[in-house]
Amino acid sequence: MLSNNDKTLYALGNRAIETDFVAYRKPLITLSQIFLIALTYYCSFLLRFDFALQKSISDLFLQTLPWVIAVKLLIFLFFGLLRGWWRYVGISDLGDISKAAFASFGVLYPVFQILWRESGYPRSVLAIDLVLTILVVGGARFLVRIYTEHANTYAAQKNTLIVGAGQAGITIERELTRNPLLGFKPIGFVDDDPTKIGIRIHGLKVLGNTSVLSQLIARHEVSSVLIAIPSATGPQVEKIIDRCRECNVKFKILPSVNERINGQASIKDLRSVRVEDLLGRQPVPLDMDSIRNKFSDKVLLITGAGGSIGSEIARQVARFHPKQLLLFERSENDLFKLCLELSETSSNLKVVPITGDVLDVATLRETFALHRPHSVFHAAAYKHVPMMERNCFQAVSNNIFGTYNVALVARQFQVEDFVMLSSDKAVRPTNVMGVTKRVAELIILGLQYQQTRFMAVRFGNVLGSNGSVLPIFQQQLSKGGPLTITHPEATRYFMTIREAVQLVLQASTMGKGGEIFILDMGEPVKIVDLAKNLILLSGYHQEDEIGIAFTGLRPGEKLYEELLIEGEGISRTWHNKICVLKSAAVRFEQVRGWLDELSDCLDAKNVHGLIAKLMEIVPEYAPSREILSLCEVDRHDISREYRRARISLPSIAGPAA
């Protein structure tokens, strides 16, 4: 691969040559076209008269040549053939040349029949000239393209195989060939489609399938492999990576369509392989029209907007040009960062940052009254399982009462749609976080209202979200390990943040009210496998450099997560990655009763009563040993100590001046 200095000198040299050429490009192109027009016309006479031109025929050629040149130049100018760069010629240019040739024939034939009919002008000459014009004028352009592409390949010293001979791989090959300074020299394709083996694409051969990748790397002295299969499954990517690692070659991957918003493959999208690529999540098909119609020119409110999911919702809905985007977040730093990002990526979007807490009903009412949102995405919640086991009162306040506050105010102001983001931990919950999310689901079902459609979307873990396992592993890797895992058999569902939000947006267009949507999380993944893949992708060897330590399950954690519970009626939707659950109806009076009793437990700091009430509301809730140990403490002692501490606090306000 060229050094930076070599690249700079090479670029400067090419730029100087091109600058000199550009100054005279138009007259040079015109002269070259005149030469080619005269050549094809002369060859037409030679072919017509078997390469034996008599003087009378030669005179006829000379008399008609100026007409041919003048007419063809005017028609070439009309079709744009006297401008452009021949090095970038393509099929569309060949089409223009063919149109120009037929147009020239259509103009010249009747003119020559009128002016030179008595001179014995051979009519077949113009027909032969038509064919030769397409072949010679088009061929000259393609020869220039072939020369420029092959003349520049010396600058690319890194023999490269492209895995995937589909549209994405072909696009990558074309960009590499046109830009040698990238340092990659494509030498062939690899593809598992047996019908493609041996064929040539843009002059490069499909050398074999991925099963012989190791042999191809050795045979062709390959030093880099580019994986250009956006629809590849996790096992397929892992197999390719294993072979690259065995041969000690570098590899990069083209992300899936989920990650590339515009859907177009480009060399700039190539990046190092990440753990999420090994999940093999298939591209999410979206009904873009229904999403655009729902959000375009509408006022949208996102609670918890500074979090991983909330901020991604903001990024994605910004593409659909909402009238206003209300970002409700209590962390001013996270809110500031998101607003700064959106101002750079979506400068025309009207963003309204609101620093507020979902427990602050006055701020919520003020927000809804001032801005009148059409749709609400409720992403604000406490999510860390072990932490919520030790802070159960805060979990109930934020996850249950916070959801109720936002939902009730949304109902009062007749919001069109209310979408709550739920969790797979709400299924047979074994922790406070999970049971509070399940109660929140039941609350919005109880608030179901004619003018407002309430729905929940339930999904599992998202890779890369704040506090999730992947960022923790990456921090541990940066410190040299070991990676800590709770249990060898701990298994979770995973999807990327982008995919989760895409499906949430799609589900929001389907709801008629009262549904709990479940996203297809694919196959569950062992956390230990995730850790091993991350170690290998980071260039380490687990046995030699980075270890894995098992720490035991944390308070409230399960070995396995679920997405369904018995008794819930599940049905498919038109989208193959979204199912819908129709739960039993919940009365609003029942919700108010639950909240009153839970509120009493919060005020009294009554852990025992709180857990008992949660078990009553959600019978499948199985409290953890840690939370039960808190219940063994005399709740009257807790309440008494709480009241004593509160009463003994000195007054904040001093005596009146």
| Residues involved in catalysis | 425
The three-point CA angle 235-237-239 to 5° equals 65
Which residues, other chains included, contact 45 with Cβ-Cβ below 8 Å and sequence gap of 6+? 53, 57, 61, 125
**Separation of alpha carbons 268 and 262, rounded Å:** 13
* Cβ atoms within 10 Å, residue 294: 20
Distance of CA 457 to the CA centre of its chain: 20
Tell me the CA distances in angstroms from 299 to 287, 419, 452, one per residue in order: 20, 14, 15
Q: Which of 87, 102, 89 is nearest to 133 (CA)?
A: 102
**Separation of alpha carbons 314 and 9, rounded Å:** 45
Residue appearing with tokens 């930076």: 4
Tell me the CA distances in angstroms from 255 to 211, 266, 270, one per residue in order: 22, 10, 7
Tell me the CA distances in angstroms from 41 to 93, 95, 572, one per residue in order: 21, 20, 68
**Separation of alpha carbons 404 and 302, rounded Å:** 15
Structure tokens at 528: 């230990």
**Separation of alpha carbons 396 and 614, rounded Å:** 10
CB 237 within 8 A of CB 244: no
- For the chain, percent helix, then strand, then coil, each to nearest 5? 55, 15, 35
**Separation of alpha carbons 49 and 26, rounded Å:** 35
Give kind and range of the element (H or E) at residue 206: strand 204-208
Give kind and range of the element (H or E) at residue 503: helix 497-508
Which residues, other chains included, contact 619 with Cβ-Cβ below 8 Å and sequence gap of 6+? none
The three-point CA angle 350-355-358 to 5° equals 110
Q: Which of 382, 386, 380 is nearest to 558 (CA)?
A: 386
Strands 491-492 and 525-526: antiparallel
Which residues, other chains included, contact 25 with Cβ-Cβ below 8 Å and sequence gap of 6+? none
Indicate the burial class of 567 (C-beta count within 10 angstroms; 0-12, 13-18, 19 or more). exposed
* Cβ atoms within 10 Å, residue 360: 14
Strands 483-485 and 548-550: parallel
